[in-house]
Amino acid sequence: MQYWAIQTLNSLALGGLLFLLAAGFSLIFGLMRIANLTHGALYMLGAYFGTSILKTVPNLWLAALIGGLAVGLLGGLFEKFVLRRLGGNILGQVLVTLGVAFILADVCLVVWGGDPLPIPTPPALQQPVRIAGLAFPAYRLAVVVIAVLVGILLYLLMERTRLGAMIRAGVDDMEMARACGIPVSRLFTTVFCLGAALAGAGGIIGGPIMSAYPGLDADMLPLALIVVILGGLGSLVGAFVGSFVIGFVYTFGVALLPDLAYVILFLPMILVIAFRPRGLFGKFAA
């Protein structure tokens, strides 16, 4: 019983981290029609930033805020000065984001080295929580709570603010949004900054579970891509549901059928693409 409970919690924690990564990715993909392949590298960069920030600011949550803002700023500069110049050149945008992902990976390797760098768990969350006689890692429960809170805040942003209305309009019909006077360029930069900041903060929050190590980007990006395809482009609800579905599928697949883990992981994506190309909650056919 303890084993299954812990695996379930591991699935929820992974789903929460995937949501922090995939929510911004989905909005960028849905609004800008760009498969931003730097997103995994931004997650990894956030994790490495966290290891450095914590040496000066010994508070994980404050480090996540600072690191997220720093990564968001880098993302905004990248969108404004590089991606914007490639407007309409989809292949060029994909190749540039892939190239920048490789550059960021090498920069992290040069600056922080090739050894995994652990991020300590906050002292208040180091003791396990006991529920119904079972012990659960408190930090993993905290990650799930954070993901739910971020999901609620993003939902309120998308559904209750003018910025959210503009983003939804852009996802639904970009040409009509332009015709209505929505400042699309600024909207692109804002959404890219938001997505990058969530990825960077997610990397730091996920640090006590996954650490910061070379190749973290390559481990997380495919999972985020699957989440976006499964949930649907530009859909926050889809990103939330898809993240936890993939969290469960991946965790239990690795635990029960390690030789078939990737078959189990990619099969739902293949079925969704075949029978529902827009994804479970998607609004736009890619």
Question: Is 271 strand, coil or helix?
Answer: helix
The reported pLDDT for the residue numbered 1 is 66
Q: For residues 22 and 150, give the distance between their C-alpha atoms in angstroms, rounded to a whole number.
A: 12
Backbone torsions φ then ψ of 132, nearest 5 degrees:
55, 40
Cβ proximity of 211 and 117 under 8 Å = yes
Q: Which domains does the chain have, with CATH numbers?
A: 2-275 (1.10.3470)
Nearest residue to 22 via CA among 205, 235, 209, 178: 235
Tell me which H or E stretch contains 25.
Answer: helix 2-32
The reported pLDDT for the residue numbered 102 is 95
CA–chain centroid gap for 52, Å, is 21
Residues 6+ apart with CB under 8 A from 122: 59, 60, 61, 139, 208
Q: What is the pLDDT of residues 125-138, one digit of tens each?
A: 988 888 777 778 89
The reported pLDDT for the residue numbered 283 is 58
The reported pLDDT for the residue numbered 99 is 94
The reported pLDDT for the residue numbered 45 is 96
The reported pLDDT for the residue numbered 285 is 44
Instruction: Give how far Cα 170 sits from Cα of 48, 108, 166, 279, 283, Å.
Output: 33, 34, 6, 18, 11
Per-position b or e across 130-169, b if 16+ CB within 10 A of its CB: eeeeeebbbbbbbbbebbeebbeebeeebeeeeebebbbb
The reported pLDDT for the residue numbered 229 is 86
Residues 6+ apart with CB under 8 A from 101: 37, 38, 40, 41, 217, 221
Token pair 């590298």 is at which residue? 41
Question: Is 180 strand, coil or helix?
Answer: coil
Cβ proximity of 71 and 193 under 8 Å = no
Question: Is 275 strand, coil or helix?
Answer: helix
DSSP, res 120: P
The reported pLDDT for the residue numbered 16 is 93
Residues 6+ apart with CB under 8 A from 37: 94, 97, 98, 101, 221
Per-position pLDDT tens, the chain of length 286: 677 888 888 899 999 999 999 988 888 887 777 778 999 999 999 999 999 999 999 999 999 999 999 999 999 999 989 988 887 788 888 899 999 999 999 999 999 999 999 999 999 898 888 877 777 889 999 999 999 999 999 999 888 888 888 877 877 777 787 788 888 778 888 889 999 999 999 999 999 999 999 999 999 998 998 898 888 877 888 899 999 999 998 888 888 888 887 788 888 778 888 888 788 886 544 4
Q: What is the pLDDT of residues 218-250, one digit of tens each?
A: 999 989 988 988 888 778 888 999 999 999 988
Determine how many CB atoms are found less than 10 A away from the CB of residue 263.
11
Question: Is 131 strand, coil or helix?
Answer: strand
Q: For residues 193 and 222, give the distance between their C-alpha atoms in angstroms, rounded to a whole number.
A: 21
Q: For residues 164 and 211, give the distance between their C-alpha atoms in angstroms, rounded to a whole number.
A: 33
The reported pLDDT for the residue numbered 286 is 41
